[in-house]
């Protein structure tokens, strides 16, 4: 929960993803639950003449999935709910947006570095499969976009953006940013939706610790026609269970303290006790449940991911199970 500022920022691709993992990512591809018509027909093979879409696989139904893709014949025969998945047979856009606001610097492992790893991995998968890939870094005073690129030859350009442009936003009151206008989450999502191109898959990586604009921002994402949207909420172990963090002797908060919000500059004096930590956890659970409801009621994928999760397992197992990767 506390931001120490002592984290060493990644400087190379190897600081984020190992060469062995990158080789394994070569075998993955991005999936879409929706049927899109891209700009470049013929980039992918098509087994169905005139349809442009190839059936890929089945997976178990997850709450929030579109009922239109349920295989009703399997349900009638096996009494189990499966969803059909499709490979995009034409040009597919892959847009990865990363929250670089100051709160993302919290955690051990740091949330923003974890998000950088996922952004690099997803962008790499898109490039090696000849999809159109774009990245966005956003925050209260930040909005930077890497325009669409295609092909493996652009991997270094992708890595350069992740390492240099997805940097943490300065704290509130910093001289370098104090004159810049602040944007709400909704403002950033509006700009993101307006600047998108093509049709495909959008992945949002954020802790969703915003004081305003969350509902409006998610509504804007839901209205981003032509995009299958995945919202992944990244939280650190200390944010999820600060009491356990303290019991293990790791950095935490305890006693009489004055805490200052790194994004807004607001401060408050309080005494951190077991009862207060329990109250905090209850409010965090309600907050996460609200984000889940907002997303799934609008047919957006949502999941909470710990910043200490194994990136390889997440990419090769979890994201495949959720229908993001094949």
User: What residues contact residue 297 under an 8 Å CB cut-off, 6+ apart?
Assistant: none
Residues 239/1, Cβ–Cβ less than 8 Å? yes
pLDDT the model gives residue 11: 94
Q: Give a yes or no: residue 310 inside a domain.
A: yes
Q: Give a yes or no: residue 70 inside a domain.
A: no
User: What residues contact residue 295 under an 8 Å CB cut-off, 6+ apart?
Assistant: 64, 218, 231, 301, 302
Q: Give a yes or no: residue 22 inside a domain.
A: yes
pLDDT the model gives residue 73: 87
Q: Give a yes or no: residue 326 inside a domain.
A: no
Among candidate residues 134, 130, 139, 138, the one with its CA nearest the CA of residue 157: 134
pLDDT the model gives residue 42: 40
pLDDT the model gives residue 302: 96
Q: Give a yes or no: residue 256 inside a domain.
A: yes
What span, in angstroms and rounded, lies between the C-alpha atoms of 7 and 112?
Answer: 11
Distance (Å) of CA 69 to CA 44, 227, 235: 22, 16, 31
18: domain CATH number is 3.40.50.410
What span, in angstroms and rounded, lies between the C-alpha atoms of 271 and 287?
Answer: 22
Total number of domains constituting the chain: 1
pLDDT the model gives residue 68: 81
**Residues facing 82 on adjacent strands:** 60
pLDDT the model gives residue 45: 41
Which mean pLDDT values do the consecutive 10-residue runs of the chain (326 residues) have? 65 95 93 59 39 64 79 87 70 93 91 98 96 95 93 95 92 58 92 91 96 92 92 94 62 66 70 84 95 95 96 94 88
Q: Give a yes or no: residue 190 inside a domain.
A: yes
* Phi and psi angles of residue 297, each rounded to the nearest 5 degrees, phi first: -70, -15
Q: Give a yes or no: residue 317 inside a domain.
A: yes
Domain enclosing residue 254, as ranges:
13-33+91-321
Q: Which residue is it, tokens 């709160």?
A: 103
Q: Give a yes or no: residue 55 inside a domain.
A: no
């Amino acid at each position: 929960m506390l931001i120490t500022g002592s984290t060493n920022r990644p400087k190379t691709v190897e600081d984020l993803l190992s060469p062995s993992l990158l080789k394994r990512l070569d075998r993955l591809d991005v999936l879409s639950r929706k049927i899109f018509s891209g700009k470049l027909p013929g980039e992918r093979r098509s087994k169905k003449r005139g349809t442009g879409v190839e059936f890929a696989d089945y997976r178990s139904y997850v709450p929030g999935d579109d009922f239109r893709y349920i295989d009703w014949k399997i349900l009638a025969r096996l009494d189990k709910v499966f969803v059909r998945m499709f490979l995009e047979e034409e040009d597919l856009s892959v847009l990865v947006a990363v929250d670089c606001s100051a709160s993302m610097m919290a955690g051990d492992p740091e949330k923003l570095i974890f998000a950088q790893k996922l952004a690099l991995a997803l962008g790499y998968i898109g490039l090696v499969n000849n999809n159109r890939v774009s990245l966005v870094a956003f925050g209260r005073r930040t909005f930077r976009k890497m325009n669409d690129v295609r092909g493996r030859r652009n991997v270094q350009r992708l890595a350069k953006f992740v390492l240099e442009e997805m940097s943490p936003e300065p704290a509130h009151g910093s001289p370098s940013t104090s004159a810049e206008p602040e944007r709400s989450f909704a403002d950033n999502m509006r700009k993101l939706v307006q600047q998108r191109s093509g049709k495909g898959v959008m992945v949002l990586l954020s802790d969703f610790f915003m004081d305003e604009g969350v509902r409006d921002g998610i509504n804007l994402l839901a209205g981003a026609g032509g995009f299958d949207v995945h919202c992944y909420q990244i939280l650190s172990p200390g944010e999820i269970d600060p009491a356990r963090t303290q019991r293990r002797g790791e950095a935490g908060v305890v006693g009489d303290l004055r805490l200052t919000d790194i994004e807004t500059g607001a401060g408050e004096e309080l005494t951190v006790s077991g009862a207060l930590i329990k109250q905090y956890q209850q409010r965090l659970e309600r907050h996460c449940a609200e984000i889940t409801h907002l997303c799934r009621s609008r047919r957006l994928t949502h999941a909470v991911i710990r910043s200490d999760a194994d990136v390889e397992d997440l990419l090769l197992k979890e994201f495949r199970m959720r229908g993001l990767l094949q």
